[in-house]
Amino acid sequence: MRVSRMSGWLSMACVALVGVALVARSAMAQEDEDVLSAAKKHHHASFHLTGPITVTETTPCPSNETCFNFTGTLSDEKSTVTLNGNGVNALCSTHKGKMCCTTTGSETLTLGGDSIGGGFVGKSCQKNPTANEILNAHWTATGGTGKYTGAKGGGSEKLSDDQKTGAGTATISGAVHN
């Protein structure tokens, strides 16, 4: 009698373990599907864009600072994007005839209906009043729209413009993902 009760308990324990295993397996399968589904929604983009820009000084701007907007069309071998942004040159100083400023701002890269927004910080220098102003900066993605919603990432950028005409060039490199 003792053996049959034990055998009954053992059978019930085995059935319970099989049930737990099936539930765990089902949960893991659902988790795998959720991960795959999320992976399909994520996007990653690396780029090295370059092209012409136009820079315009804007007012009003606090004293001892220069505010500006910029726009352009940049491209690489895969795509063409629209660049729009604004910035501020502040904390300027001159050393050995070269004026440099801390430059901060925000910008948006738009490709079709999708966009990546971000901010930049760097140093803008000009060798003399007639030379092109050159900005070297680091940018950080702060979000986006469409397939780049929640974009994160960053990279480097270089903007150069003629102070008299506003004509210039931009090169932006980096990677984003969401």
User: In terms of residue numbers, what domain contains 126?
Assistant: 44-177
Decide if 52 contacts 72 (C-beta within 8 A): yes
Strand 152-161 relative to strand 167-177, pairing: antiparallel
| Shared domain check, 158 and 91 | yes
Residues 9 and 70 in one domain: no
Q: What pLDDT, in 10s, does the model give residues 40-92?
A: 456 788 899 999 999 999 988 888 899 999 999 999 988 899 999 999 999 99
Taken in order 96, 98, 103, 107, is the CA torsion positive or negative? negative
pLDDT at 41: 59
- Report the predicted TM-score, pTM, of the whole model to 2 decimal places: 0.73
Q: For the chain, how many structural domains are there in total? A: 2
Residue 173's Cα: distance from chain center in Å?
A: 11
Domain stop point among 9, 24, 41: 41
The pLDDT score that the predictor gives to residue 62 is 87
Q: Which residues pair with 51 in a beta bridge?
A: 170
